[in-house]
Amino acid sequence: MLDQLKSWSIWRSLKKDVAKRGWTIVHLDGANHRGPTWAYTIGLWEFAQAPELIVFGHDLLWSNGLLSEALKQLQSGLVLQDMLRWSLEGFEGTWRRVDPMHIQSEEWFNGARRYKREMTGDETFEAFQLVTPDEGGKYPWEDGFNESWRHYQNELYLAAPQPGPGELAHRGRV
């Protein structure tokens, strides 16, 4: 019961943020998911007619800054495409298109799917991941990438395993 109340309270707060600004950012501590810290947007599909965004491995302020600046650039005409290099005041990254099965999994974008479902009855949307290179400037898909950096960010641009029969129908809702 306490978990349901906490979940409801968090959801209510997120909806309030989206209603106030048109979009919001969810920041999650990776400890609960046995992985890196990560952040994603909710509402960009409606607010800016843009894909939702996700970034791994940065603290709250840095993630919010990156995603907020990306939104400003999207509103100014930036068109995201897979493998688009992006820089911001010394930060270097590459945008990668998130595989649709990762969007539909219960691991990522739960709030964004729920918000879209409540607004439209449909929970599908496009998303892009901002991928950070290692200390040598190499990305996970490049030769010479420092493998010790791989745990800092999930690779949602890679094809997700296909669910077994009935798995999506039994997926938990947020």
More confident of the two residues 14 and 43: 43
Which range among 87-101, 107-121, 157-171 shows the weakest confidence by mean pLDDT? Answer: 157-171
Which range among 22-26, 29-33, 109-113, 168-172 shows the weakest confidence by mean pLDDT? Answer: 168-172
Q: Report the residue count for the chain.
A: 174
Domain-embedded: residue 169: no
What is the count of structural domains for the chain?
1
What is the structure's pLDDT at 173? 40
* CB-based contact 83:96 (threshold 8 Å): yes
Domain-embedded: residue 59: yes
Question: Helices H, strands E: what count in the chain?
Answer: 5, 6
* CB-based contact 173:114 (threshold 8 Å): yes
Look up the domain containing 156 and give its range: 2-160
Domain-embedded: residue 166: no
Q: Name the percent of the chain lying above pLDDT 70.
A: 85
What is the structure's pLDDT at 32? 56
pLDDT at 172 over 50: no
Domain-embedded: residue 174: no
pLDDT in tens, 31-58: 555 567 899 999 999 999 999 999 998 8
Domain-embedded: residue 171: no
Q: Tokens 């950070």 map to which residue? A: 132
Question: Model pTM?
Answer: 0.86
Domain-embedded: residue 167: no
Domain-embedded: residue 170: no
- CA dihedral (174, 102, 163, 142) in degrees, to 10, reads -150
